[in-house]
Amino acid sequence: MKTQYARKQENPLFQNYPDEQVLSDLDLLKDGKLNYAALILLGKSEAIRKYLPQNNIVVEFRMYHSMIQYTACKEFQLLLFIAIDKVWDYINQPASNPLLYYNDGSYIFDIPSFNKEVIGEAILNVCCHRSMLIQSDVVIKQYPDSITITNAGGFPSGVDMNNILTVNSVPRSKLMSEVLQKTGLVERSGQGVEKMFYNCIMEGKALPDYSGTDSY
């Protein structure tokens, strides 16, 4: 986290700061005690399982939409700064993220079925906006042609399917969102969703679909 923050803020000296000072400066340490945002972002797996077991990402892969039982499944109960890359590596296997081919005149180009930037933004969004009061995992259901990501809690306050591209949302964990912005993992409020739509349009893919969202 220190390395990412130093790079984003263009302050290389930040990497040399003591850990306690870094945590305190980012409001992750108060009165000598770590808060839940620190646990989600930086906690060890053992601590997450003990104090926040619902902070878990489950990735299920199925070959067909009609399948009930998954073909493969993996759980990631890790600090978010590591989980985001681990989850992408699992999704981005050749068999589960096949290449798509398209012609441009005499040239043939290929693009992966799932764009790293789009999937990364989606995962970070569900982790920032999920409700920790509901005891359920973040579940990613992957198929060769689509991915469905569900989290607990529905849309943040003031956001719905019609204004998701225009409204500045209020994350359920404002502190966690601020740390992710300061380290360069997420954009300013609302821009991450815009980036997802932009990439899908540029690659000629279906747009993100929020029609299945409810209050839970």
- Reported as a single tens digit per residue, the pLDDT across 165-187 is 888 767 778 899 899 989 988 86
The whole-angstrom separation of Cα 90 and Cα 86 is 6
Nearest to 151 by CA among 77, 212, 206: 212
pLDDT of residue 82: 95
The pair of three-digit structure tokens given for residue 18, joined into one six-digit string: 């003591």
Label residue 141 by pLDDT band (50, 70, 90).
Answer: very high
CATH of range 53-202; options 3.50.50.60, 3.30.70.2080, 3.30.565.60, 3.40.50.12780: 3.30.565.60
Burial of 30 (C-beta count, 10 Å sphere; 0-12/13-18/19+): exposed
- Reported as a single tens digit per residue, the pLDDT across 59-116 is 999 999 999 999 999 999 999 999 999 999 999 999 999 999 988 888 898 999 999 9
Cβ partners under 8 Å of residue 33, min gap 6: none
Q: Which residue has the higher pLDDT, 13 or 90?
A: 90
What's the whole-model pTM score? 0.90
Label residue 121 by pLDDT band (50, 70, 90).
Answer: very high
CB 188, CB 181: distance < 8 Å: yes
